[in-house]
């Protein structure tokens, strides 16, 4: 960025903070709440997972060790999802945070109601550093790896980068199935539930376009 571009970016950020400071604060608060809820739901389902289901796709596909995609490409998608509005669409920062937080709260409720165990032949994986704090077992329905990039596809409507996130979501859907980290219903349902969450959240002021 040139000095002029930096000044323009800072000016946009200043205007955004002034205009939307209440919704930004609320979105950050909701993000903290969703992190707490996600953690507790993850701990709960790790302990409560009881049954392993049969799955037509998993019975005929994999497992394959795609840990690099599952861990690092996934983290890259999330990082770009956060950083893109910071630099290129400052008016969407609080909207992205709010939509993401709402989706995570809904997912926490769903996984808490579904006590299936991770498939017994699932490939092992591990998130690096402090991120391992949010690594659980049996947090299956619905797939966060699939849902989160798809949410970015919906939120960044009108921007070419949305197609990058759609491709990322499809890649993650294939990855979690290949590694037997999710059942097929976890992946397919993620698209419908995410779209429903996106439309529902738009009725709340912090997340409107």
Tokens of 99: 């939509």
Domain contains 11: no
Q: Return the pLDDT at 10.
A: 74
Q: Return the pLDDT at 11.
A: 76
Residues 6+ apart with CB under 8 A from 26: 94, 98, 206
Domain contains 101: yes
Domain contains 63: yes
d(CA 27, CA 75): 21
d(CA 47, CA 36): 17
Query: Between 88 and 157, whose confidence is greater?
Result: 157
| Predicted confidence (pLDDT) at residue 23 exceeds the cutoff of 80 | no
Tokens of 21: 């400071």
| Predicted confidence (pLDDT) at residue 1 exceeds the cutoff of 70 | no
Domain contains 3: no
Instruction: Report, as an integer, the average pLDDT of 163-186.
Output: 96
d(CA 207, CA 102): 10
Instruction: Report, as an integer, the average pLDDT of 183-204.
Output: 93
Domain contains 7: no
How does the average pLDDT of the chain come out, rounded? 87
Instruction: Report, as an integer, the average pLDDT of 164-175.
Output: 98
Domain contains 111: yes
| Predicted confidence (pLDDT) at residue 41 exceeds the cutoff of 80 | yes
Domain contains 6: no
Letter string b/e over residues 103-142, b meaning 16 or more CB atoms within 10 A of that residue's CB: bbbbbbebbbebbbbbbeebbebeeeeeeeeeebebbbbb
Instruction: Report, as an integer, the average pLDDT of 54-73.
Output: 92
The closest of 127, 110, 119 to 178, measured between CA atoms, is 119
The tens digit of pLDDT for each residue in 117-136 reads: 888 888 877 777 777 767 78
| Predicted confidence (pLDDT) at residue 110 exceeds the cutoff of 90 | yes
Residues 6+ apart with CB under 8 A from 87: 9
| Predicted confidence (pLDDT) at residue 205 exceeds the cutoff of 70 | no
How many folded domains does the chain comprise? 1
Tokens of 9: 């970016």
Domain contains 143: yes
Q: Return the pLDDT at 66.
A: 94
CA 24, chain centre distance (Å) = 19
Domain span at residue 114 reads 19-207
The tens digit of pLDDT for each residue in 77-98 reads: 999 998 888 877 777 888 888 8
């Amino acid at each position: 960025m040139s000095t002029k571009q930096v000044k323009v970016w800072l000016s946009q950020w200043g205007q955004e903070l002034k205009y939307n400071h209440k919704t930004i604060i609320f979105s950050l608060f909701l993000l903290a709440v969703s992190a707490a809820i996600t953690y507790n739901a993850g701990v709960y389902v790790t302990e409560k997972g009881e049954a392993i289901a049969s799955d037509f796709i998993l019975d005929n596909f994999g497992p394959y060790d795609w840990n690099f995609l599952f861990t690092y490409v996934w983290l890259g998608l999330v990082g770009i999802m956060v950083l893109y509005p910071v630099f290129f669409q400052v008016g969407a920062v609080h909207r992205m945070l709010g939509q993401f937080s709402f989706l995570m709260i809904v997912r926490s409720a769903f996984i808490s109601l579904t006590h299936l165990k991770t498939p017994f032949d699932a490939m092992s994986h591990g998130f690096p550093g402090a991120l391992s704090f949010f690594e659980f077992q049996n947090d299956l329905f619905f797939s966060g790896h699939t849902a989160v990039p798809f949410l970015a596809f919906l939120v960044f409507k009108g921007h070419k980068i949305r197609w990058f996130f759609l491709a990322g979501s499809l890649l993650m859907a294939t990855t979690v199935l290949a590694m037997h980290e999710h059942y097929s219903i976890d992946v397919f349902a993620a698209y419908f539930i995410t779209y429903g969450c996106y439309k529902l959240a738009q009725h709340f002021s912090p997340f409107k376009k």
